[in-house]
Amino acid sequence: MPEGDSSDTTALAMAASQREISISEFFLKNRHLLGFDSPSKALVTTVKEAVDNALDACEEAGVLPEIYVQVSYCGDMFQVIVEDNGPGIVEKQIARIFGKLLYGSKFHKLSQSRGQQGMGISAAGMYGQLTAGKPMHIISRVAGDELASELLVSIDTSRNRPDIHRKKHVPWDRPHGTRVEIEMEGHYQKGSHSIEVYLKQTAIANPHVSLFFRDPHREEIRYSRSTTELPPHPREIKPHPHGIELGHLIQMLSNTPCRTLPLFLEQAFSRVGRKTALEIIERAGKGLSGRSFPKHIAHAQAAALHKAIGRTRISAPRTDCIVPIGEQRLLEGLHKELAAEFYTVVTRRPAVYRGNPFQVEIGIAYGHPGGVGLELDKEGHMHKKKRQTKSAAEELLAKADEPAHLLRFANWVPLLYQQAGCAITKAVIQTNWRAYGLRQSKGALPIAPMAILVHIASVWVPFTSESKEAIAAYPEIVKELKLGLQECGRRLAVHLHRGMRLQREYEKRTYIEKYLPHIGIALQEILELSDDECKHTLNKLDDILHQRRKT
C-alpha cells in the first residue's frame, strides 16, 4: 500500500469524523471533574453546590440565611432537597440556571462569591438525570409574587440547553426562597467526607448561617447561627492593570466604546486616574497620545502600551472586594466547634496573584483538653487536667500521634476532597514545624493533636478542577500561606514552651510536696520546734516556694 494513498484517505476519513463536543457531553463523560466520581461523593457535592448557591443568594439579598437540607432514601435511589429563604429566582431564569452548564451571574464580575462558574447545580441535576433518569424539581418564589413557580427541568446534553417538562404556579408557605429537589444514585456515609462534616465546617466559617439537616435515618442536626450580623457585602472591582495580559488588552481595546485612550484606561481598569493614564501613554511612545482612538491601535502600539503599564507605578488593587472571615469570627467558630487547649488565628493582609486580590487566614487549634497537659487554676495552683468526654467535635482534631488535620476553606466554603493536590497542603508541608516544637517527616504534615484551619478568600479562586476541591499552587498564594502558617507556628511554639515549663515545674513541685514533710521532721529535730511551730514553718516554706514558682 503506497503511503501517500493511505494518509490521503485517512485525512478525509478523519475530517468526516470531526465534530463539535457539547460542554454537557464533555462533563457527562468526565463527571469526576465536577465532583461526581462516586455515589457517596455525588451526594456531598450536590448538597455543597445547592447550599453554596443558597448562601450566595441570601447574602446578596441581605437576608440572614436559613437553609434546610434533607437527604432521604427513595427506592434504590436518594432524594436530595435543599431549601433556602433567599430572594428566589425570576421565573424565566429558572430553567437556564438549573438546566444549562456555564450559565450564571458570577463568572463575568470580579467579586468574591462561593459560586463562580455557573456549573455546580446544573451538574448535580445532570448527574441525577443520568443515574435516576428523572428531571430536577424546582420551586422558587420572589417576594411580592402571589404564587411560587414550580418547574421540572432536565438538560438536553447534546446541545447544553434546558428541557422544561412542566411549569406551573403553586401556593407555597415561604414568602420568598428557592427549593431544589434531585433524585440520584448515591451512597450515604459518615466520616471525614460526609455531608455532616461539610455542614459543620460551613457553620465554623459562616457563623451567621443557620443550617438544618435531616439525614436518611431521619436524624436531625441543627447548626444555629452565633451572630445575626451578616458579613459585609464584597464590592465588585474592575481588573487591575498589572494583572492584564497583552492579548486581553488588545481585545479590550477593540471592544471598548470609549473614544480616547486615556478614557479607556480610566474606565476599564481599577486604580487608573487621568494622571496615571497619561503617564502610561507617554511612556509607551510609538505615536500614542491622549487623542489616540482605542479601536485603531496597532499590535506594536498595544505591545508598547502593555509594557508601559508594567513599568508604571500603580496603587495596589482595592481590597474591599474581599471579605475575610475575620480573626474574631474565626476564633469564635473554632471555639464553638472544636474543643482544644490552645487557639490562635491570623488574618493576613490582602495580596495579589495575576492581578486578582486574595487574602489568607490561618487558625490553629492545638491539644485535646484533658489530654496530657497541666493547667493553672485561678489562684495560680497547678493541676493535672481532667479528661473531658469525647464529643463528635473532637474528630476535627487529630490524635497525638496522627498528622495534623487540615480544614481547608475557599471563599467561606469547606473543601473536603483532593487534599493531596491542594496549595494549602503544599504550604503546610513546606513549613518547618520542627522549628515550633512539633514532629514532622520530610514532605509530610506535622504530627500533632492539632487542626489547622486555612481560608483563602479571593475575587477568583484558582481551583485545580471544576469540582472546586483544591487550590492551584500559584507561587504568590503559597508564599502568603506559608507566612501565615509561620506566624501561627511561632505562637504555638510559645504555648508549647509554656506547657513544657509547666511540666518541669510540676515535677519540681511534686518533689517539694514529697520531701517537705521530711524536711519538717528534720527541722523539728534540729530546732526543737513544737508541732504547731513546725506546721507553721512548713506552710511558710511551701508558700515561699510556691511564690517563687509563680514569678
Amino acid letter at 247?
Answer: G
Query: Shortest distance, CB of residue 1 to a copy of itself, whole angstroms?
Result: 8
Q: Which three cell numbers stand for residue 118?
A: 455557573
Q: Which is nearer to a copy of itself, 31 or 482 (CB)?
A: 31
Give the H or E element holding residue 536. helix 531-550
C-alpha separations of 500 from 341, 482, 507, 511 in Å: 14, 26, 11, 17
Shortest distance (Å) from residue 37 CB to a copy of itself? 6
| Least distance (Å) between residue 60 CB and a copy of itself | 6
Q: Judged by CB, which is closer to a copy of itself: 115, or 484?
A: 115
Give 163 or 487: the residue with its C-beta nearer to a copy of itself.
163
H-type helices in 312-410, by residue range?
327-337
Report d(CA 162, CA 149) in Å as an integer: 16
Neighbours of 399 (CB within 10 A): 14
- Sign of the CA dihedral running 252, 254, 258, 263: positive
Phi, psi for residue 214 in degrees, rounded to 5: -115, 120
State in angstroms the smallest separation of the CB of 446 from a copy of itself. Answer: 13
Strand 450-458 and strand 342-347: the pairing is: unpaired
3-state secondary structure of 452: strand
Looking at the Cβ atoms of 183 and 341, the one nearer to a copy of itself is 183
Please give the full DSSP string across 204-257, using - where no structure is assigned.
HH-TT-EEEEE-TT--EEEE--S--PPPPPPPPBPPPGGG--HHHHHHHHHH--
Judged by CB, which is closer to a copy of itself: 247, or 287?
247
CB of 162 to a copy of itself, least distance (A): 12
User: Which of 444, 519 has the CB closer to a copy of itself?
Assistant: 444
Supply the minimum distance, in Å, between the C-beta of residue 358 and a copy of itself. 14
Residue pair 64/230 in contact by the 8 Å Cβ criterion: yes
Task: Give me the least distance between CB of 434 and a copy of itself, in Å please.
Answer: 15
Coil/strand/helix, residue 495: helix
Residues 325, 176, 413, CA angle at the centre, nearest 5°?
A: 25
Q: Nearest distance from residue 293's CB to a copy of itself, in Å?
A: 18
| Minimum CB distance to a copy of itself smaller for 205 or for 470 | 470
Nearer to a copy of itself, 117 or 319 (CB): 117
